[in-house]
Chains A and B, each alone.
Chain A
């Protein structure tokens, strides 16, 4: 049994989610895209907006409930074998946040339906828009946490997810064991995938002596990371 914890869960208002400008969305789309393609994009955007149900939530671990080591993190009863790149970024944290966000399962159903009907362009747009909303949901929860930290005079780290920076996705199982069942409507499959698919999980830290640093790719040993490719 994990110790009794307090969890915060939110229904996120669509107006609070901005499609991130720097994500893959802009890389896959072309500014000079023909007018009618832009119109189709706008049409799908509206459709996706109408069906997503953005949710976000986190559990806070207080001093004494976690410890950060050179290549692992002890949190509650779990040991995260996250790589140095993650532990180094979090090492000065006074509080550790374990978060999950999801936009629900409707968007992926829409993508499937459109693809099966041969509506490739709409299916593709729906998929990348829904993915971008999932990312902005993660940015939203990060902002909520960092705003609260700022009030207490604390700084907030970047967010890290199992699967990023060489940290094994399988460790999502540990992450989810720190949260109540079905948190934010998300379940973990046997192969450690989140269902609904359009979900993101991760951790971040806040603290008085935290220094927020961009992802420290310099100390990473992965040679197949996509950050170098995009």
Chain B
């Protein structure tokens, strides 16, 4: 049975959605994520294991290769899509609580800023790692960030800023979050930021790499079941 989960992980890693997927060429005609997840469910493998040891495991491998600069972002996205195809099949099991995600993470580009390409990448990595992601979009005011973190009982908030001037709004959001929701981890990123800036504004974590944020969250938040 382990073997089946390892095959699911491999298909996620290679971005192989189904038998019909024309790529990758060396896997032409072989089963993809959707067929293998169906097979796993039919063999009564617990959905939580399919998620954790199949889908998420595949994303972990690809995320690590990205962190080590071995691959480019498009390849991670192809894997994320393959993972999604499997996730869709597991959706019914969320209702009966047969599967739970790691928790909720809020992502947002801070007030006064519109640059969201990096924020979207971070959101995609988080989903791939088994987090429920609530994306608040761009130009998000500190009070909206706080109220959503409360509403969704978030484990963490990921803030992005690319404009030097909006880095100040980031500081406000971090302060408000720490004051109102001290349990919630606040992660910050965006090209002009630095470790020293993140430290000065009291953020819990800074990195240029979304994958490192995942590792940090896995080690520093209290996962539910996964």
Chain A interface residues toward B at CB < 8 A: 28-30, 33-34, 36-37, 40-41, 115, 118-121, 123-125, 127-128, 131, 163, 166, 168-170, 189, 191-194, 197, 222, 224-226, 229-230
Contact = CB atoms under 8 A, between A and B. Distances in A.
Contacts, number: 85
8 contacts: A29-B72, A30-B72, A119-B81, A123-B120, A169-B163, A193-B113, A224-B194, A224-B197
B77 A120 contact: yes
Given A34-B75, A197-B138, 15 more contacts: A36-B22, A37-B74, A37-B78, A120-B124, A121-B77, A121-B81, A124-B73, A124-B117, A124-B120, A127-B117, A127-B120, A163-B164, A191-B111, A192-B112, A225-B164
A124 B121 CA distance: 8
Q: Give the size range of B's interface with the partner.
A: 35 or more
B23 interface: yes
B6 interface: no
B74 A121 contact: yes
Most buried by A among B78, B120, B164, B192: B164
B191 interface: yes
Interface in B139-157: 139
B160 to A, nearest CB: 14
A29 B75 CA distance: 11
B117 A131 contact: yes
Nearest to A38: B74
A86 to B, nearest CB: 15
B165 interface: yes
B193 interface: yes
Contacts of A169: 112, 163, 165-166
B114 interface: yes
A124 B74 contact: yes
Interface of B: 22-24, 72-75, 77-78, 80-81, 84, 111-114, 116-117, 120-121, 124, 135, 138-139, 162-167, 191-194, 197
Contact of B73 (A28, A34, A226, A230): A28
Contacts of A33: 72, 74
A40 to B, nearest CB: 8
Nearest to A166: B164
A36 B23 contact: yes
Nearest to A193: B114
Contact of A128 (B72, B80, B117): B117
B208 to A, nearest CB: 9
Contact of A191 (B117, B139, B197): B139
A197 B163 CA distance: 14
Contacts of A225: 164, 192
Contacts of A28: 72-73
Contacts of A224: 164, 167, 192-194, 197
Nearest to B190: A226
A163 B120 contact: no
A192 B139 CA distance: 10
A163 B194 contact: no
A31 B165 CA distance: 34
A229 B191 contact: yes
Nearest to B74: A37
A127 B166 CA distance: 21
B69 to A, nearest CB: 11
B120 A115 contact: yes
Contacts of B24: 34, 36
Contacts of A29: 72, 74
B112 A193 contact: yes
A193 B23 CA distance: 41
Q: Which 7 A-B pairs have the closest CB atoms?
A: A121-B77, A120-B77, A118-B84, A224-B192, A36-B23, A191-B112, A30-B72
A197 B111 CA distance: 14
